Amino acid sequence: MPPPSYGILYNWDGAPHAYGEVPQSLDHFVEKTYTPLENTQVGALFWCVGEHAARWKSDVLELLGDVHGRRYENAYSYLFTENVRQMMERGEDPQQALVDRGHALGRHVYASIRMNDNHFDGKLVKDLPTLHHTELTRMRIEHPEWVLGDRTSEWFALSWNFAVPEVRELRYAHVAEICERYEWDGVELD
């Protein structure tokens, strides 16, 4: 069965978490997400649920910001991560609120999962022990043999090596968990 005709698909990386002071209210976050879509031809939102660490209470991934004890490398990382974390600490679930509001507005909402996103600015395997980056995870630090390293260009050196079974298992567990926890209309493996 073919997917519905959505008009325009809007793929968003989650930036509205950083569009407000800490603590951001759940309503502010959802409003900042959907206001730009009002009175447009957008029929479906593809929402990036994260790259390496969870933005929800996960049984599979560590929580965004854990790796450095909630010390951030810049203001954007602080705003984004602390707004996510403080919503969860208040017992709120931004992922669920996002799906619920999209459905209430008559839009389909898809989980967009970046399978091997790399925001480590060309850092190399040798940089892992001292690298300070909010999206870095303990798994990557503890298993440098699971990244591409010198098998690719410098920019992608810290990307996962999908030839490693543990990497495939981790990514599968991430996809399975996000699909099982929320009532998405579908999933995009980006």
Q: What is the pLDDT of residues 70-123, one digit of tens each?
A: 999 999 999 999 999 999 999 999 999 999 999 999 999 999 999 998 889 999
SS3 54: strand
Low-confidence ranges of the chain (pLDDT < 70): none
User: Max alpha carbon distance in the chain (Å)?
Assistant: 49
Please tell me the distance from the alpha carbon of residue 105 to that of residue 84, in angstroms, as a whole number: 23
Q: Which residues lie across from 186 on neighbouring strands?
A: 110
**Predicted local confidence at residue 14, as pLDDT:** 82
Please tell me the distance from the alpha carbon of residue 34 to that of residue 10, in angstroms, as a whole number: 11
Other CB atoms within a 10 A radius of the CB of residue 49 amount to: 25
Task: Sort strands 8-12 and 108-113 into parallel, antiparallel or unpaired.
Answer: unpaired
* N-terminal to C-terminal alpha carbon distance within the chain: 21
Task: Report which DSSP code applies to 160.
Answer: B
Please tell me the distance from the alpha carbon of residue 27 to that of residue 36, in angstroms, as a whole number: 15
Tell me if the pTM is above 0.85: yes
